[in-house]
Amino acid sequence: MMKEITIYDIADKLKISAATVSRGLKDHPLVNHKTKKLIVDAAEEMGYRSNYMASNLRNQKSNVIGVIVPRLNSSFMSDVIAGIEKVVNDANYNLFISQSLETMKKEASNAKAMLNNRVEGLLVSLAYDTADIAHFEPFIKRKIPLVFFDRVFEHAACPQIYIDNYKAAREVTTHLIDQGCKRIVHITANLLRSVYSERFNGYKKALEEHQLEFDDSLLIVNDLSSQAGVAAAGQILKMPVLPDGVFVANDLCAISCMQTLKKHGINIPQDIAFAGFNNDPTACVVEPNLTTINYKGYEMGEAAAKLMVAHLNNYDVKQMHSVVLRSELIIRESSLRNKSS
């Protein structure tokens, strides 16, 4: 192992004190220009690299921002992470990333690890089954900024970044109704998560606004996976009266469900109109192209990270606003019946 150069080595070489070297390296005004140059040159020549572990200890800050997400490998989430990385990197922080794999247990253990690693802030999108945020209390107690995005949780101390899921879902459902749908199945996940309950509420609201009764036999709750989509298709096919529309809370599940129905001879959108949520890359590749809600993960990641960095730069700013990002309905063939409209 190569011996690392420290400021003491530089100090010795220049017959100067380590304090001066430390100040010189960071352009402190208390050091002479000429000395500064000598120091910087010597550091360069000797191959010095600052030891962040020492400086972090001394400064009592880790320069790290933590991220906990359910899974890293979804189209949406990887966009979010990319956005976060960009902002965090530009702000000279480092990123600790971990995934909860959709369980509250892992989420809690990850949170603990983040806490012990002294992250200066934590960005979180909650797991499916997270019922409370007790495991994040240590952060709140210590006033370590905690920002929720997408799968958020209401808490006075925690800013949130999300889209208006209620409005979006209402919009989608209204669109399906406009296309003549009267029996609309809604496939979603754990209603504990506000993203899903909001979408569900938006769906119900749209029905209500059009004098359609909500029928809970048309509500399918699963994990929105690809397999769940196939199963849901099976469930739909077994319904005594077939629905004429399906609104799924994500594209992945929507597509596998739609394709399964298609294989069983159902015409999309004539027999059943389809709409998803997220605008995954697959949505505009599948045939028919999937109507969906577009909301860009990259921007959400950027927004969350920017909010975090802002807080870290001036924590006193107690105006921790929540941010609602734009989302839009993208109408494609999977739901377009009256081509004229």
Partner DNA sequence: GGAAATTTTACAATCGATTGTAAAATCGCT
Partner DNA sequence: AGCGATTTTACAATCGATTGTAAAATTTCC
Backbone φ and ψ for 132, nearest 5 degrees, come out as -145, 170
> Smallest gap, in angstroms, from Cβ of residue 63 to a second copy?
8
Interface with a second copy in residues 31-50 (CB under 8 A): 49-50
Residue nearer to a second copy on the CB measure, 61 or 182: 61
From candidates 1, 15, 73, 340, binder to DNA by CB under 7 A: 15
Nearest-CA neighbor of 231 among 217, 241, 220? 220
> Smallest gap, in angstroms, from Cβ of residue 85 to a second copy?
6
DSSP-assigned states of every residue in 139-156? HHHTT--EEEESS----T
| Other beta carbons less than 10 A from residue 204's beta carbon | 18
- Residue 319's identity, in one-letter code, is Q
Nearest-CA neighbor of 22 among 45, 38, 39? 39
Residues 104, 131: contact at Cβ < 8 Å? yes
**What is the contact mask toward DNA in residues 17 to 56, using x (rule: CB under 7 A)?**
xxxx-xx-xx---xxxxxx------------x-xx--xx-
Interface with a second copy in residues 275-334 (CB under 8 A): 281-282, 285-287, 297-298
> Smallest gap, in angstroms, from Cβ of residue 38 to a second copy?
22
| Cβ neighbours of residue 180 closer than 8 Å, sequence gap 6 or more | 244, 273, 337, 338
Q: Select from DNA, a second copy, none the partner in contact with residue 240, using the beta carbon and a kind-dependent cut-off of 5 to 8 Å.
A: none
Q: What three-state secondary structure class fits 340?
A: coil
E-assigned strands of 61-159? 64-69, 94-99, 121-124, 146-149
Distance CA 137, CA 283 (A): 39
Residues 236, 243: contact at Cβ < 8 Å? yes
Q: Select from DNA, a second copy, none the partner in contact with residue 74, using the beta carbon and a kind-dependent cut-off of 5 to 8 Å.
A: a second copy
Interface with a second copy in residues 71-110 (CB under 8 A): 71-75, 77-79, 81-82, 85-86, 89, 94-99, 110
> Smallest gap, in angstroms, from Cβ of residue 309 to DNA?
20
Q: Select from DNA, a second copy, none the partner in contact with residue 271, using the beta carbon and a kind-dependent cut-off of 5 to 8 Å.
A: none
> Smallest gap, in angstroms, from Cβ of residue 42 to DNA?
13
Residues in the chain: 341
- Residue 4's identity, in one-letter code, is E
Which residues of the chain form contacts with DNA (CB under 7 A)? Answer: 4, 6-8, 11, 15-20, 22-23, 25-26, 30-35, 48, 50-51, 54-55, 57-60
Which residues of the chain form contacts with a second copy (CB under 8 A)? Answer: 1-2, 49-54, 56-57, 60, 62, 71-75, 77-79, 81-82, 85-86, 89, 94-99, 110, 113, 115-118, 141-143, 252, 255, 259, 281-282, 285-287, 297-298
